[in-house]
A and B are shown apart, each in its own frame.
Chain A
Amino acid sequence: MTNPNGRFGIHGGQYIPETLMNAVNELEEAYNYYKNDPAFQAELETLFREYAGRSSGLYYAEKMTRDLGGAKIYLKREDLNHTGAHKINNVLGQALLAKKMGKTRLIAETGAGQHGVATATAAALFGMECVIYMGEEDTIRQALNVYRMRLLGATVIPVTSGTATLKDAVSEAMREWTNRIDDTHYCLGSVMGPHPFPTIVRDFQAVISKESREQILAKEGRLPDAVVACVGGGSNAIGSFYHFIPDEGVRLIGCEAAGRGIDTFETAATVNTGKLGIFHGMKSYFCQDEYGQIAPVYSISAGLDYPGVGPEHAYLHDIGRAEYVPVTDDEAVDAFEYLAKTEGIIPAIESAHAVAYVKKLAPTMSADQIIIVTISGRGDKDCAAIARYRGEDIHE
């Protein structure tokens, strides 16, 4: 899907300072070599299987299906991966690539902390130094993950600039990369940033739909009618969609964080409220004002609280292959509690956005139809914040 210049339609590209150009060119060259190297792929597959615990299950949510009274619902259980989210798929791939490139240090941004934890984990595994940039606001929302990263040997640097959230963490990690390139790989956590990152991250996350497509064919003997996933930058969503893109009968639905609603300024629903722009290395859709100043977006979910969306999603939106729907904080919190009570699965608040949309979608479909929804991560990290949202102050 990527064209030779790293474009997805008009989106993508390499809008970065000259200082980084040789670094991304070197990364692209290395990736193009190793993606076709059977030894690399075998090593990665072993890590996926033995270390991350793949494949992840495709679980038939029978109670939820019965309760909603419509389509048959399957959960793709990325929450069961080692470190508790889909982020480990990308990180193991990039860390292995960085190691092959002779890098000894990983830096990364993180929002909810899942990508930071995954990067710190891979750094520990490969004996690499690790520095994580995290918005100060998010270090408060996700204190548990900050501790996990430190426990794994990483240094966590709180970012105080701008809105002190994910966007500012990305900016700071990019700044640090321009400062130290030789021994350092920037392990970008989503399908965003300059080419080749959106392609590399998508390829490593595509394992989600590679498995789920095989699993659903094995279980049901047919393809699903819809695949649903939450979208911030969009890595679990593109991973969940990728192998279904050629299957035109499969609806692909990305759930954006609408925060307090897309008719308010407190939203992070980029496709629904943003416009075309250039930021963080890519051309794509961004929440911004009339002068191109990036908007201070908001969502209860630190992982979806980002003013842009990956360029391949922008393209899938343009050509009408995927739909992007807004889901509010309230709906996500309801879904968080609903899945816990109905199936005994506490999803990440990010993933709860996708569950919330399935709650609306499933009843409109018939019993012989199938939805796969990706549970991109587990919700332990969110319990304190959700309790606060419900007016209960618990101390972790």
Chain B
Amino acid sequence: MSNIAKAFANGKAFIPFITCGDPDLKTTAAAVREAAKNGADLIELGIPFSDPTAEGPVIEAASIRALRAGTTTDKVFDLVRDLRRDVTVPMVFMTYANVVFSYGTERFCATCREIGIDGIILPDIPYEEKEDFQPTCEKYGLDFISLIAPTSEKRIAMIAKEAKGFLYIVSSLGVTGTRSEITTDLASMVKIVRENTDIPCAIGFGISTPEQAAKMAHIADGVIVGSAVVKLLAEYGVEAPQQIGAYVRQMKDGVRG
């Protein structure tokens, strides 16, 4: 069983996202440890990118704060090395294609394996362009996570058939950010996914409350929350890790139902 599969082995999974280096890497380390301690099943670590075109204002602002604080890909790798001394939950990187490509895809993936990263999510790499990254990920034992969106329609089956690790279901049109209501017919999307693959699927984009999380966990195998976690970092800064721990616990209780 891959590490990522393990994240979905204990009932419905809760997956928080944290932008590395916001407000500094020490706070990120503390936040990840708090999240892991309080029931996060898998953690998405964002490597900040200057122009995150799939993000809404909350995560975009976090990326800018992290870069201004001097965060680099190499420093994020060091952070993960440190975390892996005691944190065992699966961790994946979420970043943009150019961050991986400019580092050298081979060198990036090799480093990920060395430091204990389990997968990579690149929101600007659709099915048609995954050949640039997926084979290298596979070579180093990393899952290259695919996304499906409300507009995917006939593409869902094609994407699901080749998906690795888990399938990231984008709940709504638009960019990341909290939403009061999610209107997409996610159950129909999940049904097509289930017909085409056995790997788990998790829903992200727009989820912030335990009630929303519970509702989504009924439909899919896991729930991903980014902006709501990042908002805590924006609000509480270096004091955020404790808040994040409490929030993760609430959300994990939510997905347990």
Q: How many A-B residue pairs have CB under 8 A?
A: 120
Instruction: Give the distance to chain A from B110, nearest Cβ to Cβ, in Å.
Output: 17
In the complex, the answer to whether B101 meets A162 with C-beta atoms within 8 Å is no
Complexed CA–CA distance, A14 and B129 (Å): 7
In the complex, the answer to whether A15 meets B97 with C-beta atoms within 8 Å is yes
- Per-residue CB contact flags for chain B residues 223-235 toward chain A (1 = under 8 Å, else 0) read 0000000000000
List residues of chain A with CB within 8 A of the CB of B152: 18, 21-22
In the complex, the answer to whether B174 meets A178 with C-beta atoms within 8 Å is yes
Q: Which residues of A in the span 278-328 have a Cβ within 8 Å of any Cβ on B?
A: 278-281, 286, 288, 290-294
- Is B102's beta carbon under 8 Å from chain A? yes
- Per-residue CB contact flags for chain A residues 8-24 toward chain B (1 = under 8 Å, else 0) read 00000111111111110
Complexed CA–CA distance, A50 and B211 (Å): 59
Known: A167-B51, A174-B53, A279-B51. A18 touches B174 (CB 8 A): no
In the complex, the answer to whether B173 meets A293 with C-beta atoms within 8 Å is no
- Is B155's beta carbon under 8 Å from chain A? yes
Complexed CA–CA distance, A17 and B56 (Å): 13
- Is B148's beta carbon under 8 Å from chain A? yes
CB closest residue in chain A, given B148: A18
- Count chain B CB atoms within 10 A of each CB in A13, A15, A19, A181 and give the residue with the most: A19
Complexed CA–CA distance, A181 and B170 (Å): 15
B67, B72, B97, B175: the one within 8 Å of A178 (CB): B175
- Per-residue CB contact flags for chain B residues 89-120 toward chain A (1 = under 8 Å, else 0) read 00000001111111100000000000000000
Complexed CA–CA distance, A162 and B63 (Å): 11
In the complex, the answer to whether A291 meets B103 with C-beta atoms within 8 Å is yes
A15, A281, A290, A293: the one within 8 Å of B50 (CB): A293
Complexed CA–CA distance, A276 and B105 (Å): 13
Known: A13-B129, A18-B126, A19-B151. A294 touches B50 (CB 8 A): yes
Q: Which residues of B in the span 137-154 have a Cβ within 8 Å of any Cβ on A?
A: 146-153
CB closest residue in chain A, given B128: A14
List residues of chain B with CB within 8 A of the CB of A178: 54, 173-175
- Is A83's beta carbon under 8 Å from chain B? no
- Is B27's beta carbon under 8 Å from chain A? no
Q: Which residues of B in the span 165-191 have a Cβ within 8 Å of any Cβ on A?
A: 170, 173-175
Instruction: Give the distance to chain B from A269, nearest Cβ to Cβ, in Å.
Output: 19
In the complex, the answer to whether B128 meets A22 with C-beta atoms within 8 Å is no
In the complex, the answer to whether A22 meets B155 with C-beta atoms within 8 Å is yes
List residues of chain A with CB within 8 A of the CB of B170: 17-19
Q: Which residues of A in the span 177-193 have a Cβ within 8 Å of any Cβ on B?
A: 178-181
Instruction: Give the distance to chain B from A210, nearest Cβ to Cβ, in Å.
Output: 31
Instruction: Give the distance to chain B from A78, nearest Cβ to Cβ, in Å.
Output: 30
In the complex, the answer to whether A162 meets B50 with C-beta atoms within 8 Å is yes
- Is A57's beta carbon under 8 Å from chain B? no
Instruction: Give the distance to chain A from B66, nearest Cβ to Cβ, in Å.
Output: 11
In the complex, the answer to whether B98 meets A17 with C-beta atoms within 8 Å is no
In the complex, the answer to whether A17 meets B126 with C-beta atoms within 8 Å is yes
Complexed CA–CA distance, A22 and B127 (Å): 12
Instruction: Give the distance to chain A from B131, nearest Cβ to Cβ, in Å.
Output: 10
- Per-residue CB contact flags for chain B residues 55-80 toward chain A (1 = under 8 Å, else 0) read 01100100010010000111000000
List residues of chain A with CB within 8 A of the CB of B126: 14-18, 21
List residues of chain A with CB within 8 A of the CB of B123: 17-18
- Is B87's beta carbon under 8 Å from chain A? no
List residues of chain A with CB within 8 A of the CB of B103: 291-292
- Is A222's beta carbon under 8 Å from chain B? no
List residues of chain B with CB within 8 A of the CB of A278: 96-98, 101, 124, 132
List residues of chain B with CB within 8 A of the CB of A273: none
B72, B98, B173: the one within 8 Å of A286 (CB): B98
- Is B199's beta carbon under 8 Å from chain A? no
List residues of chain B with CB within 8 A of the CB of A15: 97, 124-126, 129
B67, B97, B129, B149: the one within 8 Å of A19 (CB): B149
Complexed CA–CA distance, A16 and B146 (Å): 13
In the complex, the answer to whether A175 meets B67 with C-beta atoms within 8 Å is no
List residues of chain B with CB within 8 A of the CB of A69: none
In the complex, the answer to whether A19 meets B173 with C-beta atoms within 8 Å is yes
In the complex, the answer to whether A294 meets B173 with C-beta atoms within 8 Å is no
List residues of chain B with CB within 8 A of the CB of A291: 72-74, 99, 102-103
- Is A364's beta carbon under 8 Å from chain B? no
Known: A17-B123, A21-B152, A291-B102. A181 touches B72 (CB 8 A): no
List residues of chain A with CB within 8 A of the CB of B96: 278
| Other 11 A-B pairs with CB < 8 A, given A18-B159, A179-B173, A292-B98 | A13-B129, A15-B124, A15-B125, A19-B173, A178-B173, A179-B174, A277-B102, A279-B97, A291-B99, A293-B50, A293-B67
Q: Which 3 A-B pairs have the closest CB atoms?
A: A292-B102, A179-B174, A19-B149
Q: Which residues of A contact B (CB under 8 A)?
A: 5, 13-23, 161-162, 167-168, 171, 174-175, 178-181, 275-281, 286, 288, 290-294
Q: What are 30 residue pairs bridging A and B, where the CB atoms are less than 8 Å apart in the complex?
A: A13-B128, A14-B129, A17-B123, A17-B126, A18-B123, A18-B159, A18-B170, A19-B149, A21-B126, A21-B127, A21-B152, A21-B155, A22-B151, A23-B151, A161-B64, A162-B50, A162-B51, A171-B51, A174-B53, A175-B53, A175-B56, A178-B54, A178-B173, A179-B175, A181-B173, A276-B101, A277-B102, A278-B97, A278-B101, A288-B98
